[in-house]
Amino acid sequence: MKTIADNRQSKKWISFGTLVLGAGTIYKLGCLKDAFYVPMQEFMGLTHTQIGTAMSVAGLISTFGFLISIYLTDRVSKKVMIPMSLMGIGLLGIGLSTFPPYWLFLLINCGLAVCADMLYWPTMLKTVRLLGSEEEQGRMFGIMEAGRGLVDTVIAFGALGVFALLGSNAASLKAAILFYSAVPMVIGIIAYFLLEPDEIKAVNAAGEKVSRNKAAMDNVILALKNKNIWLVSFNVFSVYCVYCGLTYFIPFLKDLYAIPAVLVGAYGIINQYALKMLGGPVGGYLTDKVFHSATKYLRVVFVITGTALTVFAFLPHSHMNVYFGMLMTLSIGACVFSMRAIFFAPMDEINVPREITGSAMSLGSFIGYLPGAFLYSIYGSILDHNPGLSGYRIVFLIMAVSAGAGFLLSSYILSVIGKDKAINN
């Protein structure tokens, strides 16, 4: 029996490791601007507006993609979905490396959004939830976030190394894009051989045999009717509203604290990569070992984050030390990243049936990530129309209000969980 248990554990962590590799590479081409914004303008002839439009269109496709994935993730096995999405990313990247005309550049970005957000991401979330027991949810999601942050960093620096090594010219940008394309394709091939196929049950709630399409559609309906899934989804929404505001800490420090250029670079690396790798495991560990509940952890950190943002908004920043500003914003960022790592873990606490996990995670992704489709524009407009500290103060207070909404939602979810336990006992 021990051999069987050990074998299951091995398969579990092999599957998990494969998902981490994929999660760390799936968005690199779609976010090419993160590392190669200026080279894209110089060698691909793209303007700020064209790059921004491509990102907006891709974001719109992602939003609708999450809706479609509510059906797909419980209909198609991860053994098909994960490799297919990674291979699709790689093939689209090869097309991108040709420096296509703008209309084709737009189409490729839409295709990248489909592969990453409609095919890969909800399937990955579903699989992580199913791999871990109820006691492991926080750690599984936390380690996933840290692991993908590490892989993301290694791949990003690898592409930058290729670009620099080959001369930082048009040909080297093509080589870097091809590097970004080859890695997910290799991982996709590995995933096909390492991932176990899903057991897709073609039965309805009454236990009657139905077609796979009918079973998947029944799961969609069950997920949409489940009030608790909506509650967790809007809790994710609250976290993401705060997360979107972290972007503006960098211009805030530059404008209000006159942070030197060298510190801007160091801060950006810490804010983007280090906090993700730190926040994930810490949030996961505290969730499982200290709070024994992802929702309880979220509620506490919502209070800490909301309070810190409110206080920070009204501090006399013109008379304060730059390192204090950096420490304060990084501390808030660490709290948010720890929440972001485990904000889907409550799906297990609310007893979402495992057979509709895919539909639940897709619905949660659609609602939870929705702020990314509109909130950056709102925050940016606020800063444009309210220059200086006043604009940033409004942004920070909106973030604080979002944290307050998350606290109220978390409290309500805990009361629902408590009532359900009382009924079941």
Same domain, 146 and 32: yes
Residue 203 lies in a domain: no
For residue 386, give the DSSP letter: S
| Per-residue confidence in pLDDT tens, the chain, 425 aa | 456 556 667 777 888 888 899 998 998 998 887 778 778 888 998 887 787 778 778 888 888 888 888 778 778 888 899 999 999 999 999 999 999 999 999 999 999 999 998 899 888 888 888 887 767 777 788 888 888 888 888 888 888 889 889 988 999 999 999 999 999 999 999 999 888 887 666 555 555 565 666 777 777 888 888 999 999 999 999 999 999 888 888 788 888 888 875 576 567 767 777 787 888 888 888 988 899 899 999 999 999 999 999 999 999 888 888 888 889 999 999 999 999 988 888 888 888 887 788 888 888 888 998 888 788 878 888 888 898 899 999 999 999 999 999 999 999 999 998 887 777 76
Q: What Å distances lie between residue 306 and 154, 220, 405, CA to CA?
A: 33, 34, 10
Same domain, 34 and 75: yes
Same domain, 163 and 288: no
Give the pLDDT confidence score for residue 49 in this predicted structure: 77
Give the pLDDT confidence score for residue 318 in this predicted structure: 81
Residue 82 lies in a domain: yes
Give the pLDDT confidence score for residue 425 in this predicted structure: 62
Spatial distance between the Cα atoms of 280 and 346, rounded to a whole number of angstroms = 15
336: closest CA among 70, 145, 56, 108?
145
Residue 255 lies in a domain: yes
Q: What Å distances lie between residue 338 and 56, 134, 294, 327, CA to CA?
A: 27, 19, 11, 16
Give the pLDDT confidence score for residue 323 in this predicted structure: 85
Same domain, 219 and 295: yes
Same domain, 220 and 83: no
Amino acid sitting at position 409: L
Residue 384 lies in a domain: yes
Residue 205 lies in a domain: no
pTM of the model: 0.80
Q: Which residues are within 8 A (CB) of 147 and not within 5 positions of it... i.e. 6 or more apart? A: 17, 20, 23, 24, 280
Same domain, 171 and 222: no
Give the pLDDT confidence score for residue 409 in this predicted structure: 97
Same domain, 269 and 383: yes
Q: Which residues are within 8 A (CB) of 263 and not within 5 positions of it... i.e. 6 or more apart? A: 322, 326
Tokens of 11: 């398969």
Parent domain of 293: 210-425
Tokens of 223: 């997920």
Output phi, psi for 207, to 5 deg: 85, 10
Tokens of 296: 């309880």
Give the pLDDT confidence score for residue 148 in this predicted structure: 85
* Residues counted in the chain: 425
Tokens of 125: 């979330």
Torsion of CA 380, 239, 282, 121, to 10 degrees: -90
71: closest CA among 212, 179, 278, 166?
212
Same domain, 234 and 180: no
End-to-end alpha carbon distance in the chain: 32
Give the pLDDT confidence score for residue 205 in this predicted structure: 54
The enclosing domain of 26 has a CATH number of 1.20.1250.20
Q: Which residue has the tokens 């990674």?
A: 86
Residue 239 lies in a domain: yes
Residue 264 lies in a domain: yes
Give the pLDDT confidence score for residue 394 in this predicted structure: 96
Same domain, 227 and 100: no
Same domain, 19 and 100: yes
Please identify, among 198, 230, 259, the residue that sits at the C-terminal boundary of a domain.
198
- Span 10-45, pLDDT tens digits: 777 888 888 899 998 998 998 887 778 778 888 998
Same domain, 149 and 58: yes
Residue 204 lies in a domain: no
Please identify, among 146, 172, 198, the residue that sits at the C-terminal boundary of a domain.
198
Same domain, 280 and 163: no
Largest pairwise CA distance in the chain: 70
State how many domains the chain has: 2
Please compute Rg for the chain using Cα positions.
22
Spatial distance between the Cα atoms of 157 and 172, rounded to a whole number of angstroms = 14
Give the pLDDT confidence score for residue 308 in this predicted structure: 97
Contact yes or no for 337/203 (Cβ under 8 A): no
205: closest CA among 193, 217, 188?
217
